[in-house]
Amino acid sequence: MRGKHIGRLLAVAAMVATLLGSQGAIPARAVEALFYDDFSTPSPRWVVEGGTWQVQDGYYTGDGGFEDAPEPDYAWVDGIGTNVVITTQVTPLAYVTDHRIGISAHVRGGHTPSNTDTKWSLILHDGTLSLLEEGIAWRAQVPFDYAPDHAYLLKMSISGGRVQGKAWEVGSPEPAGWMVTAEFTTQLGEDGVGLYSGRARARFDFIRVDPGPPNLSLGSDRVGNVFVDGEAAELTATVRDQGGQGGSYTLEYAIQNAYGQSVRQGSESLSLPPGGEVQRTVSVSPSAHGYYSASFELRAGTEVVASASTTLAIVAAPIEGTRPESPWGIGGGGAFIGIRFGEQQARNSLELVHRANIAFTREEIFWESVEPRQGEFHWEVFDPSVEEAHRQGVLIMGLLDYFAPWSVPYGYGGQEGEVDFDTAVRNYANYVYQTVSRYKPGGVLAQQEGWSDGYGIRYWEVWNEPPTFWFGTAEQFGQLVRAASEAIRSADPQATVVVSSGGPEFDQTVIEVAGIEAYDALAIHLYPGPTSPEAGSFVRSVRDTRDFLDRHGGQDVAIWITEMGWDTTGGVSEWEQASYIVRASVQTLAAGSERNFIFTFNYGSEPPGWGIVHPDLTPKISYVAYSTLTHLLEGTRPMGEVPMGSALRAYVFEGGGRSVGVVWSVAEDGELTIDTQGMHLSALDLMNNPTGEHSGDHLTISLTGRPVFLVGEGVTANQMQAMIERGAVSGITPLGIDISQLGDLPTTLPPLEVTVTNRVNVPQSGTVTLSLPPGWEVQDNSLAFGPLAPGEEATLTYRLEEVVTRDDNTYAVTATAALDNGGRVSATENLFVTAVVHGTPTIDGDLSDWTRAAPVHADTADKVVGIPGWTPQDLSATAWTMWDDDYLYFAAKVTDDTFSQPNTDGNIWMGDSVQLFFDTLNDKTTYQDEDDQEWGIALTPDGPEVFRWSGGGGFGYVDLARLAAVRGENGDVTYELAIPLAELAPLRPAPSSRTGFTFLVNDDDGGGREGWISWTPGVGNAWNPSLFSTWTFVESIGQAALRVERDRGKPLADTIAFTLGGGTAQLIVHNHGVTAMEVRFSGGQVLTLSTKRSTGRDTYRIALEGDTTIDVSQYVREGANAMAVRPLGAPGRFAILTVFD
């Protein structure tokens, strides 16, 4: 052992010499390690966070086990600092799938990693060398071969947000360059380093932390690098020596605008004194409005030793003073009034809210922070932000929530509680009264500060998002609303009371208890997930809310959207976030919302994607886009939507002697050319810069998902609408074609429906012709439509006369529209028979007993949301359904490139999982009602879990459901689920009965839910059961079906082919008045079917109306068969004959 230990010391010495040599023969004192441990003796500095860690024989061995999630299996040392190079030697001893072995830096020194935002890790992970920003994303991965009992060196460099890593086997040369490089988004302070051994056992020989290369940081003299007109937009780069070395370097920089176009680039030489710093200032040129990204690199020769990046913005100067009539708000602009962030960051945030020209910020004033103990009020947390909001001219809407711990009602949310409910409500009402009294105009704070301008908080929201944060009944919430409303108005009779919505049924009960007079406004939240506001049905949601209020006596109650937003770490790009915010704001305001609050200004790093600024307060593209919106539409009111077709959106606003049109595409890109008729019309993009091309009296703008503003000084709203409506659209497909899924079985040969929609602003008409699968026939192959007005749709119904089923249940149908104006448009859709087949599979993860079921496939791009560069290998699924007298069965085979499910219970949707949505009565409402249910299944760290979020027996685990979930290759999972029918009441399956159903598969590749693939729309972003498929309960699926009838007294005979897997078959005759039929099989046998009494061996009696089942096994053979039918009897009658094996 002694000789081995000496060998290890020599190896470490050699490695250190290599490190020193790589920095140019620097004296040893200049690169003294910040931390070094060779594990010769145990050190009290090491803190263990999960797993078993032991210093023995000169090694530090971590055993994270092989069953638990890898995240907590971590040992760490605090107080090392940032901008460092971390090196370790590790020998993996054993590991299983999803292991994590390596080194990390963690944030917030003095806290355990489990209480931090994240760890920055360089790890060996499933055959890769990976950089992981935990809780955020896998930042970089490269293949790397490693094996148990082999020793490897891992080196990670951290410089600002730039993290680089490399790995090599001991005895091999160190790679010349970094193998993985990424920019991380969270902020490291004076933090620590650690070792990782998750789902693995690994032995570490040493860890060494050296000063990093020179530190490069970027900043400016403006908060968040946000500049307004007239200010010099400049960035200052500061290079600071960290190792006492100094040296000569080159500073290179590049600045781009939001469109990726270079606006400034260059380089400068600099000499860095030992232990000193050097600064260089770079101007943004040209200084047009907009968002800019800046990247700087510090080079020693050709090697990049440090890098830094930031963003900045140049916006129009804000309007000074408060603007109570403005509709534009933001959530958390005051940094949650000092709760989530410190006082200085709250002040900085409010300055940036003002600079973006945002009038309102929505702020939570938590009861437990105001009154931590009964009668003991602490305003010092909140006062500074209110004072700063006053200085900036930003109005606050105060959010009054939740129960203080000392006043939690008995049994509330499963808690033991402290008081009865009536007492809790009285206590809450007192907190509300005291808060409003302090912060109202002329209130206690205003008097203390001597404000004479009438500033104060006049807008108050009662509670936040009851579906998520209220754990009592609707009746109890009604009591709380009534008490809160009375308390607010008692303290300030001029206050506006905004009540948070819990959904139509919940709100109806609340209104019945509290009275509609308790409301000045109803607050709704709109979150569509990683998709557009149009796909999220924002306009419909506002209109449905208006209809609801009007039906319940709330004609004078306003609609406020107090949260809507998009997460740029959740499948939405910064450009999409910016565009969606503007589009949603314009549409919802035009639909009837009075005030909109974007969620959010800055949510920190948990997660960072919701904000319109980054966690360090530098701007995102959406910051500039929202500023553009608030400037260009300030002082206007919506005048309505311009009918431009389903692919385009256009709205007109008017005010202040001008009108503003806002135009964009919700589909492919195109162009709009407008005849301005000599009027002054300018086009501005989301960055508030001129766009478009003028040619005489014509203006041409791009139609993309990024709105364009058309500003007409002295132009009326009617003139603006007429110019847009008469504009010439190019590049947009004029007609949309949608082929509906089959809502029934071949037994009844349902109609095949094709919906055509006018996508542009001129009428469309023509003929749609079908191309059908082999063996399928319709009565009329071509049907005419139109003329359709812009946005109008028409459904064409084709009568199926023959179908032949396939084992894969996939039927490609193509519809081609020949337009009367000479154009042609085609669409192809894979149709599926959505049938729940009778049978009882075994719940074991083996799908071999599902062969009689009808598969459906979710494997096309139109079903995907939020997965950039999607392919079927990234995520796709095949699903089956079955039923018996006791259970509904569901199976899914999911193809996934990476499996990740670290969550349990109600959070399983955030990882790899399947969600099931039932419209049990198939009533096709456009919102979630009492018969609807939402379920989820997942393979979690605790094993297979079945969870229900809504409907039936309510929120929670469903213990009586049975689930098998089996991992396959890569991230593939097979699920088999049995749901007791009693849990799905009022669903009552029976042959030919129907239900509404769809499913959604969530995708998490290690950084949280990225997106999903769904069977139908209507889930994921907004509940809309009217879009679910109709599923029919059947005994089995027919092989082939044929429609026969008599027309004008002549029998219409036809032949259908089918293939049998065995030599048995049944014939079901679905009759509607045909008195007799002759059936001839390919073997020569002839049957007579008659509604009269049977008179011979090959004569069978059938019902005149309804179904008759006949065993025809003796007339068929295994393999290929054919059947010809000739109907007899009165004309105008028909029957459908279906063959089953």
Q: Which amino acid is at 393?
A: G
Beta strands in 696-810 (DSSP E): 698-703, 708-713, 728-730, 735-739, 752-758, 764-771, 777-778, 782-788, 793-798, 800-804
Co-location of 507 and 656 in the same domain: no
236-240, 484-488, 968-972: lowest mean pLDDT where?
968-972
Confidence of residue 181 (pLDDT cuts 50, 70, 90): confident
Residue 342 has pLDDT above 50, yes or no: yes
Is the CB of residue 545 less than 8 Å from the CB of residue 524?
yes
| Within-domain flag for 769 | yes
Q: What angle do CA 89, 94, 96 make, to 5 degrees?
A: 120
Q: Give the ranges where 531-639 is alpha helix by DSSP (H).
A: 538-551, 574-591, 621-632
Residue 815's pLDDT is what? 98
Element (H, E) at 1089: strand 1086-1090
Q: How far apart are the first and last CA of the chain?
A: 74
Contact 462, 518 (CB under 8 A): no
Pair (8, 143) in one structural domain: yes
What's the rounded Cα separation, in Å, for the pair 625 and 613? 12
The H helix count followed by the E strand count for the chain is 13, 71
Q: C-alpha angle 489/494/495, rounded to 5°?
A: 60
Claim to verify: residue 915 and residue 1060 sit in the same structural domain = no
Distance CA 544, CA 542 (A): 5
CATH number of the domain that residue 775 is part of: 2.60.40.10
Tell me how many domains the chain contains.
7
Q: Distance of CA 162 to CAs 107, 157, 177, 296, 297, Å?
A: 15, 8, 15, 11, 11
pTM of the model: 0.81
Q: How far is Cα 192 from Cα 74, in angstroms, rounded to an integer?
A: 12
CA nearest 362: which of 460, 503, 493?
460
Q: Which amino acid type is present at position 222?
A: R
Q: Are residues 219 and 207 in the same domain?
A: no
- Give ∠ CA 405-409-411 in degrees, rounded to 5: 110
323 in a structural domain:
no
Instruction: Please state the rounded mean pLDDT for residues 479-495.
Output: 99
SS (H, E, C) 500-528: ECCCHHHHHHHHHHHCHHHCCEEEEEECC
Angle at which helix 574-591 crosses helix 621-632, to 10 degrees, equals 30
* CATH (domain of 31): 2.60.120.560
Element (H, E) at 432: helix 421-439
Whether residues 959 and 973 fall in one domain: yes
CA–CA distance from 512 to each of 113, 286, 478 (Å)?
A: 48, 60, 8
Please indicate, yes or no, whether residues 292 and 414 belong to a single structural domain of this protein. Answer: no
791 and 696 part of one domain: no
In sequence order, the 6+-apart residues with CB closer than 8 A to the CB of 165 are 122, 129, 131, 140, 154, 155, 156, 157, 178, 179, 180, 181
**Backbone angle region of 1051, left / alpha / beta, with phi > 0 → left and psi within -120 to 50 → alpha:** beta
pLDDT in tens, 702-754: 999 999 999 999 999 999 999 999 999 999 999 999 999 886 666 678 889 99
776 and 697 in a common domain: no
- Domain hosting 240: range is 215-315
- Residue partners of 453: CB distance under 8 A and separation at least 6: none
Q: pLDDT tier at 1035 (50, 70, 90 boundaries)?
A: confident
Q: Is residue 322 part of a domain?
A: no
Both 377 and 422 in a single domain?
yes
Cα–Cα distance between 568 and 622 in angstroms, integer?
A: 10
Are both 474 and 608 inside the same structural domain? yes
Question: What is the pLDDT at residue 256?
Answer: 97
Q: What is the CATH number of the domain that holds 654?
A: 2.60.40
Q: Supply the CATH number for residue 857's domain.
A: 2.60.40.1190
What is the C-alpha to C-alpha distance for residues 890 and 963, in angstroms, rounded to an integer? 10
List pLDDT tens digits, range 1101-1128. 999 888 888 999 999 988 888 989 988 7
Q: Rg of the chain's alpha carbons, rounded to an integer?
A: 34
Whether residue 320 is contained in a domain is answered as no
Whether 794 has a pLDDT exceeding 60, the answer reads: yes
Cα–Cα distance measured from residue 246 to residue 305, given in angstroms and rounded to the nearest whole number: 13
pLDDT at 528: 87
Closest CA to 566 of 535, 533, 589: 533
Q: Which of 282-286, 608-612, 857-861 has the highest mean pLDDT?
A: 857-861
Q: What is the percentage of the chain residues whose pLDDT exceeds 90?
A: 68
**Distance between CA 71 and CA 87 in Å, rounded?**
21
Q: Is the pLDDT of residue 354 over 90?
A: yes
Residue 960 maps to a domain? yes
CB count, 10 Å around CB of 977? 24
Phi, psi values for residue 317, rounded to 5°: -60, 140
- Token pair 């059961």 is found at 1025
Highest mean pLDDT among 577-591, 766-780, 802-816: 577-591
Q: Given this model, what pLDDT does residue 227 score?
A: 98
Residue 18 has pLDDT above 50, yes or no: no
Distances (CA, A) of 1041 to 73, 743, 1125: 60, 16, 11
Closest CA to 123 of 78, 69, 165: 165
Q: Which of 211, 228, 260 is the last residue of a domain?
A: 211
Query: Where a domain ends, among 986, 1016, 1034?
Result: 1034
| Shared domain check, 742 and 669 | no
| Residues across the chain | 1141
Between 136-150, 808-822, 880-894, 974-988, the lowest mean confidence (pLDDT) is in 136-150
Residues 878, 892: contact at Cβ < 8 Å?
yes
In a domain, 546, yes or no: yes
The pLDDT value given to residue 3: 37
723/957 Cα distance (integer angstroms): 57
> What is the C-alpha to C-alpha distance for residues 482 and 429, in angstroms, rounded to an integer?
9
pLDDT band for 1052, please (50, 70, 90 cuts). Answer: low
Which segments of 373-468 are extended strands (E)?
395-400, 459-462
Domain boundary pick from 610, 634, 658: 634
Instruction: For 565-606, write each residue's pLDDT tens digit.
Output: 999 987 799 999 999 999 999 999 999 999 999 999 987 665
Residue 321, domain member (yes or no): no
Please say whether the beta carbons of 540 and 588 come within 8 A. Answer: no
CATH of the domain at 369: 3.20.20.80
| Cα–Cα distance, 1140 to 1064 (Å, whole number) | 9
Task: Report residue 108 as tokens.
Answer: 């917030």
Structural domain contains residue 630:
yes
Tell me the one-letter amino acid at 266.
G
* Full DSSP string of 528-554: --SS-TTTTTHHHHHHHHHHHHHHTT-
Q: How far apart are CA 743 and CA 416, in angstroms?
A: 49
- Catalogue the E-assigned strands of 983-1075: 994-1004, 1009-1014, 1029-1034, 1040-1047, 1050-1052, 1054-1060, 1066-1072
Which pLDDT value is given to residue 70? 46
Residue 168 CB burial class (10 angstroms; 0-12, 13-18, ≥19)? middle
1128: nearest Cα among 1094, 1082, 1092: 1092
> At 339, is the secondary structure helix, strand, or coil?
coil
Distance in angstroms (rounded) separating the CA atoms of residues 369 and 466: 20
pLDDT score for 804: 84
Residues 124, 13: one domain? Answer: yes
